[in-house]
Amino acid sequence: MRPEIFPRQCTIASALNVLGEKWSLLVVRELALNVHRFDQIAKNTGAPRDILTSRLRRLEAEGVLEKRLYQEHPPRHEYYLTEAGDALRPILLSLSQWGERWTRKRSDHDGFTRAGTRSTSCTRAKRVAAKSPASTSA
């Protein structure tokens, strides 16, 4: 007879129950980068639509994001980070920095700053920043 195994209870395990697979974290990344509409989130993450729908519903149920109606007919929603979701920005920054240092696949466009915006050190972010009204008024 095998002894019963009781996994260690901890807050890391609890957090991983909510966020512990790539699609959820990529959704949070997109929302932190001010991408709010389903089609654009799907495009930027590469998530299949059924999986993305499931992850958005789960993250909403867990209080990580909220959906807001932006069109009534047909009903369409945008997704925004809640306070709990916004608190994930430092984790995204740490993951981005870890990935930059320790993974072989480095991207030209996934830089993430402490503020949770695209890093201006990456080429794509420089193009985005150059097009924004804030960059032309400074």
Domain total for the chain?
1
Higher pLDDT, 124 or 101: 101
In a domain, 73, yes or no: yes
Predicted model pTM = 0.75
Structure-block tokens of residue 105: 């696949």
116 within some domain = no
**What are the CA-CA distances from residue 76 to residues 28, 30, 112 (Å)?**
19, 18, 28
CATH of the domain at 23: 1.10.10.10
Residue 38 domain flag: yes
User: Which range of residues forms the domain containing residue 33?
Assistant: 11-87
User: For residue 51, is it within any domain?
Assistant: yes
- Give the phi and the psi of residue 132 in degrees, each rounded to 5: -75, 145
pLDDT in tens, 21-68: 999 999 999 999 999 999 999 999 999 999 999 999 999 999 999 999
Residue at 113 is within a domain: no
Query: With contact defined as beta carbons under 8 Å apart, do 108 and 126 qualify?
Result: no
C-alpha neighbours within 13 Å on the C-beta side of residue 89:
16
4-18, 24-38, 88-102: lowest mean pLDDT where? 4-18
In angstroms, rounded to a whole number, what is the distance separating the alpha carbons of residues 83 and 114? 16
